[in-house]
Amino acid sequence: RCTPTDEGHFAPTGSTAQTQCSPGTVAPNASMGACVSCAAGKYLDEPGKLECKPCEAGSFCPAGAAAALPCEEGSHSRATNLTSAAECTPTAPGFYAPTGSTQPVACSPGTVAPNASMGQCKSCDPGKFMNQSGATACFACELGFFCGPGASSQLPCSPGSFGNVTGLTTTEACHACPEGHYCDGPGVPVGCDAGSYAELGSPSCSLCLPGTYSNALSE
């Protein structure tokens, strides 16, 4: 008498032994001549089982899947029944998603994602900055400030110097305050009052010393 196969096993015609179903297939009943492939949206990573597993979040599972396949970078999903990569949700601009993500992540300050479906954010170029999360473009560094690569804020030119153009990239790009003027912040040079003076690169004006004078404002 021939012996019926156990659940999780199969035996073709003329078999001398039963065989476990391979990953991606199941035999839910006894006496099966062939295993059944897992339906799309499910998978099975073990042999000899009776039931397929729901696909994992951040993944998709085509029919007969022996493993959950991760959503491609730049896409994400929390669902557990996806059947193809096309069903993963693309990220919106300002967000990114590494491979196998369950949700998008906002770009951190100093980085941006100008396009949809990005797997990582792009650092701001030198001379630009971004002080917010989830941004799509960096701001140009303002007059009197400088911004290094990936800047999340703009830094003022040091006292005694100023910036005469936007988009400066280093403190060395700031200019020394001209003679007769002072620079105590990121703004333009300010002329000294009559009776005072300032040397090149001064953060403030000084009163004329006894025996000296200045009777005109510097422009």
- What's the 3-state SS for 44-79? CCCCCCCCCEECCCCEECCCCECCCEECCCCEECCC
Q: How many residues are present in the chain?
A: 219
pTM higher than 0.85:
no
- Distance between CA atoms of residues 163 and 138, nearest Å: 19
pLDDT tens for the chain, 219 residues long, are 899 999 999 999 999 999 999 999 999 999 999 999 999 999 999 999 999 999 999 999 999 999 999 999 999 999 999 999 999 999 999 999 999 999 999 999 999 999 999 999 999 999 999 999 999 999 999 999 999 999 999 999 998 999 889 999 999 999 999 998 888 877 788 888 888 888 898 888 888 888 777 775 544
Cα torsion 144, 148, 154, 160 to 10°: value is -40
Is the Cβ–Cβ distance between 60 and 88 less than 8 Å?
A: yes
Greatest extent of the chain over all pairs of C-alpha atoms, in Å: 127
